Amino acid sequence: MKLSMPRFDQAPVLVVGDVMLDRYWHGGTSRISPEAPVPVVRVDQIEDRPGGAANVALNIAALGAPASLVGVTGEDEAAESLSASLSAAGVNTRFQRISHQPTIVKLRVMSRHQQLLRIDFEEPFATDGVQMSHDVESLLAGVKVLVLSDYGKGALQNHQALIQAAVQRGIPVLADPKGKDFTRYRGASLITPNLSEFEAIVGRCADEADLVAKGASLMAELELGALLVTRGEHGMTLLRPEHPALHLPARAREVFDVTGAGDTVISTLAAAIAAGEALPQAVALANLAAGIVVGKLGTAAISAPELRRAISREQGSERGVLTLDQLLLAIEDARAHHEKIVFTNGCFDILHAGHVTYLEQARMQGDRLIVAINDDASVACLKGPGRPINSVDRRMAVLAGLGAVDWVVSFSEDTPENLLRQVKPDVLVKGGDYGVDQVVGADIVREYGGTVQVLGLVENSSTTAIVEKIRNR
């Protein structure tokens, strides 16, 4: 399945559901309490993160999509912390504040990256359902997807009214369900239960065929557009009426903390669908995102650069031969990770020891090395009849196999000046015995603040000399 980075900036999403604050107390432990056989934690850091529906909205915003959030809080310090964090992330919030009830807080005591204790402060909210429906309907006109983030805490009491309001406007509804009554999600475009939540409704699934059959029955009963069952280390299964089941393997390299993984799945799904991605592609992107987030500690969001890098790795474009469009995306991702971009160019017709040494030296000037090579017509124009010896695809394949080279791209002009204007490398490198001012494109790179380096060549290493030696023989 081919994946690409969606235009999240054009994908507004509205999240409605149970808002909570995830609070972390961090500290060291060096002794056991004399009062009970428990460790004593000396708290030296307090960290607040948006949780529940707030984490879903935060994940959407972190991907670069416009996010709005409707939920319920108290009139307290925790609500202020939530509002400040979400506002800083660019999330548009509309909270129904209830003065006599506390904001839901989940407090985790952490030491050396391990959770020792969790304490929950919560009461089911007496939500004003009419007011919430009014708030949601006032925001629907400006969004492309509605997410119901249901943690069963009482914020969502009018599921059907919200679903119907969105459906009437042609807006897809995605629901992360809770509880043993899924009829409240009737008519949703997609629901995303985990396997235990799914089996609590349909009964234990003996195997994948059983899961698919029971999922099909549930979709028919609830008139669902699709069903996505998240299955932990077994990945995800997407079911759609009249379509074969799509099973995606788990992508996590190392599972550190599964807190909030479901939030990441539905937020990435929602943003991708809002950006116009087909459902299978959106699910594949959500699967990649989940694989990233479980490698982080606590409730966490993934950023657009992180997802872009995962897509590049998935498509095999983290290294190797790229088109110009792929290269520009790879550079954007590298710069988001504060990597220094090095650029060099040439014909590289017959790769020899001098080339290899030169490219290794060029790579040492930064974090990523781009090698731009002249296409066949350009080489013929520069070198004369009979050149190149090797076609452009073969030259690119050989260069891409070198450990020093990250990306290889071709250009058709005699010089790489137009390419330099688009790539804007931090360092332009050229080999030879001429001055920096004689390097083609040096003025372009210096104009935007880049640097130019001239590296020496290995003696007695020349493609032209090799060609002549072969001809003479």
Residues annotated as part of the active site: 263
Contact between residue 456 and residue 433 where contact means Cβ atoms under 8 Å apart: yes
Contacts of 147 (CB under 8 A, 6+ apart): 13, 14, 15, 16, 17, 53, 56, 173, 174, 175, 176, 266, 267, 270
Which residues sit opposite 109 in a β-bridge? 25, 117
Task: Select from 23, 26, 153, 150 the least CA-distant residue to 78.
Answer: 23
Strand intervals (E) in 257-393: 320-321, 341-346, 368-374
Please indicate if the annotation marks 194 as binding a ligand: yes
Peptide bond into 244 cis (omega under 30): no
Buried b (16+ CB within 10 A) or exposed e, 45-74: eeebbbbbbbbbbbbbbbbbbbbbbbbbbb
Question: Alpha-carbon distance 257 to 466, whole Å?
Answer: 57
Question: Alpha-carbon distance 149 to 144, whole Å?
Answer: 16
Contacts of 24 (CB under 8 A, 6+ apart): 45, 46, 47, 48, 49, 107, 108, 110, 298
Contact between residue 184 and residue 160 where contact means Cβ atoms under 8 Å apart: yes
Question: Alpha-carbon distance 410 to 379, whole Å?
Answer: 11
Compute the chain's Rg from CA coordinates.
28
Question: Alpha-carbon distance 23 to 11, whole Å?
Answer: 30
Give, in order, the Cα–Cα distances in Å from 144 to each of 54, 141, 440: 18, 8, 48
Please indicate if the annotation marks 196 as binding a ligand: yes
What are phi and psi for residue 434, nearest 5 degrees?
A: -110, 170
- Owner of token pair 């670069």: 64
Contact between residue 385 and residue 373 where contact means Cβ atoms under 8 Å apart: no
Amino acid identity at 110 = M
The pairing of strands 19-32 and 39-52 is: antiparallel
Please indicate if the annotation marks 318 as binding a ligand: no
Six-digit token pair at 471? Answer: 């001809």
Please indicate if the annotation marks 360 as binding a ligand: no
Question: Alpha-carbon distance 428 to 37, whole Å?
Answer: 63
Annotated binding-site members for ATP: 194-197
Annotated binding-site members: 194-197
